[in-house]
Amino acid sequence: MAIATINPTTGSTEQTFEAHDAAEVERRIAEAQAAFVALKSTTYAQRGEWMRATAEILEAEVDDVARMVTIEMGKPLGQSKGEVLKCAKNMRFYADHAEEFLADEKLDDPSSVNASSAWTRYEPLGVVLAVMPWNYPLWQVVRFAAPALMAGNTGLLKHASNVPQSALYLDTVFERGGFPVGSFRTLLIGSREVAAVIEDSRVKAVTLTGSEPAGRSVASIAGAAIKKAVLELGGSDPFIVMPSADLEKAAETAVKARTSNNGQSCIAGKRFLAHTDIYDEFARLFAEKMAALKVGDPLDDATEVGPLATESGRDELAELVDDAVAKGATVLTGGTAPDRPGFFYEPTVVSGLTDDMRLVMEEAFGPVATLYRVADREEALKIANQTTFGLSSAVWTNDADDEAFFVKSLDAGAVFINGMTVSYPELPFGGIKDSGYGRELAAPGIREFCNLKTVWKG
Ligand code: NAP
């Protein structure tokens, strides 16, 4: 795939970039390795100072950076600004908490292991490769990079080929905050060049956020090289609405959960399961609110839904809907690509689903919701758990019994009650099943790329 910014609002190519050749990749890996040697002997206080300075740069540049992100991948400008500021917040979070998350832990009773004392300590692993997607071109990277650098690791970034400007911004921003040169380096390479980087002896681990096929490929290369991998892959999260829910609020949040980031979020509610007692009312509210969204130029403040990031992404989404319709599904609203330049698709709600439809089992990466009528909570759970994914989930209920049932039984990395899934620096984030393994954010996120060293003293 060419490394280029193609503006999804207009469909025109804004800028293309030469891929780094083998010599440049080698130079950058060497730089990251040299930076690791320098960084690992610095203190948390020093790294925290640099991380806070980096956060300040992002905050100062929020307007320009957000505009760049919107032009590159099409999300509404206000959401791009939110993403930039969230990155800064995450940087401050790890600047404040890294030392506490990675503190030594003493064994209370060392005599049980015949020692005078015994403890564990966390040590950085070294250079970590991050293979990242375009949907949150800054946030996906920073949620890895901030804890990694605070732990004393250094990072290499292979970003998605359609967000090179975001990738190059990230190439320098940590250095500008004061981190040693090379602490974070972008590699402008295609996905075929990833294997050689993972296999390089200086690279100690890899994290990938992206699709399931990419995850399988990267994890098997890392597995063969006996290197740690963290995988944050796709999702098809259920959003369950029970009779005791506040329906107006549930429908409003359902729309946001499905269309935020133009519907291209791994943790978006994608399958909406409404109890039969409230199905008709919920379906009406949901379809009405989806139809009322303002679709348009993401640089326009009034726009709520912009284009899909790529033409192929828009075409694949349309194929999923067309396949469902051909097999008998009902479109409650939307269902077509508007006749205008750019990669737009209307906010869509589809009901009347059957298991032979691709839309039922595959991830719809755009503003398309599937809506199910369920007889009871058991049926809701069965449909919720029937995909191969297990990222997150949402349940709307004011019944304590229903709440306990779903919290315990949903096969997912998270359950959000009376809300939509959102990532927070303070909460661990990640999935099960084909949604991947490992956790980002909070304390588990910073520990993923550390050696947990046991110390025994006689
Ligand atoms: P993608 O095609 O898998 O691309 C993600 C990254 O992987 C890009 O940098 C891509 O590079 C690279 N890549 C693709 N195939 C590869 C391979 N065989 N070997 C090595 N690298 C490879 O995913 P996407 O379409 O950009 O992103 C959408 C997907 O990401 C959705 O499934 C979404 O749910 C998932 N996602 C998950 C999370 C999470 O936290 N769980 C968060 C966001 C998105 P190129 O661009 O050069 O192909």
Q: For CATH 3.40.605.10, list the domain ranges present in the chain.
A: 4-233+435-457
Q: Does 218 sit in the ligand 1 pocket, CB within 6 Å?
A: yes
Taking CA atoms only, the protein residue closest to ligand 1 atom 18 is 214
Distance separating alpha carbons of residues 379 and 152, to the nearest angstrom: 48
Predicted confidence at residue 177, as pLDDT, reads 98
CB 233 within 8 A of CB 212: yes
**Helices (H) then strands (E): counts for the chain:** 15, 20
- Output 118-122 pairs: Cβ under 8 A, ≥24 positions apart: 118/454, 118/455, 118/456, 118/457, 119/454, 119/455, 120/452, 120/453, 120/454, 120/455, 121/452, 121/453, 121/455, 122/151, 122/447, 122/450, 122/451, 122/452, 122/453
Mutate to test the pocket of ligand 1, among 217, 220, 266, 317 (most ligand atoms within 8 A of CB): 266
Atom of ligand 1 nearest to the CA of 162: 46
CATH node for 237-423: 3.40.309.10
Q: Tokens for 100?
A: 């506490």
User: Which residues form the catalytic set?
Assistant: 232, 266
Residue with tokens 């025994």: 456
Mutate to test the pocket of ligand 1, among 3, 131, 441 (most ligand atoms within 8 A of CB): 131
Burial 193-209 (b: 16+ CB within 10 A, else e): bbbebbebeebbbbbbb
Distance 210 CA to ligand 1 centre (A): 3
Taking CA atoms only, the protein residue closest to ligand 1 atom 42 is 266
- Strand-pair category, 228-232 with 436-437: antiparallel
pLDDT of 315-349, one tens digit each?
A: 999 999 999 999 999 999 999 999 999 999 999 99
Could you say which DSSP state residue 94 is in?
Answer: H
Distance separating alpha carbons of residues 169 and 148, to the nearest angstrom: 18
Predicted confidence at residue 1, as pLDDT, reads 77
Distance 194 CA to ligand 1 centre (A): 12
CA angle 441, 445, 446 (to 5 degrees): 120
User: What Rg do the C-alpha atoms of the chain give, in angstroms?
Assistant: 23
Q: For CATH 3.40.309.10, list the domain ranges present in the chain.
A: 237-423
pLDDT of 186-239, one tens digit each?
A: 999 999 999 999 999 999 999 999 999 999 999 999 999 999 999 999 999 999
Query: From start to end of 170-236, where are the E strands?
Result: 184-186, 203-209, 228-232
Task: Mention every residue, 6+ apart, whose C-beta is less than 8 A from residue 344.
Answer: 295, 306, 307, 308, 314, 337, 338
Distance 233 CA to ligand 1 centre (A): 8
Instruction: Give the CATH fold of the 4-233+435-457 domain.
Output: Aldehyde Dehydrogenase; Chain A, domain 1 (3.40.605)
Q: Does 48 sit in the ligand 1 pocket, CB within 6 Å?
A: no
Check: pTM over 0.95? Answer yes or no. Answer: yes
CA angle 73, 205, 149 (to 5 degrees): 70
Distance separating alpha carbons of residues 387 and 381, to the nearest angstrom: 11
Under-50 pLDDT residues of the chain? none
- Strand-pair category, 394-396 with 4-6: unpaired
